[in-house]
Amino acid sequence: MAERTPREYLTKVLELSQQMVSLASIDPGYELDAGCRTVFGTLFDYGYALKKMAEQELTAHAADAESFSEESSPVAGISSPANPKTVPITEDD
């Protein structure tokens, strides 16, 4: 079995949250029943809450991946003044 990445799981959570909102938005005809309104209202609210959290996590993972790729770049290591392997170039007179 192939191992999934956090991004794949977060994408699936995002899809499920959109399904929750879609299901809760359908008018089932239970508007007179307070219990059903509570269930559908909760489904709607939590669907949006999950959507927001999944989007934030996807953004955070994208930012982490971007900063990781910059840190692991061979150019970043060479051009970094804090890197002790960097040798300053001076002109000999």
pLDDT (tens digit per residue) in 22-66: 998 886 666 668 888 888 889 999 999 999 999 999 999 888 777
pTM of the model: 0.61
* Domain boundary assignment for the chain: 7-64
Q: Of 27, 26, 25, 18, nearest to 47 (Cα)?
A: 18
Q: Of 5, 10, 11, 36, nearest to 23 (Cα)?
A: 36
pLDDT of amino acid 44: 92
The answer to whether 25 and 18 are in contact (CB under 8 A) is no
Structure token digits, residue 16:
């499920």
Structure token digits, residue 56:
């934030």
At 86, the pLDDT band (50, 70, 90 cuts) reads: very low
pLDDT of amino acid 63: 80
At 77, the pLDDT band (50, 70, 90 cuts) reads: very low
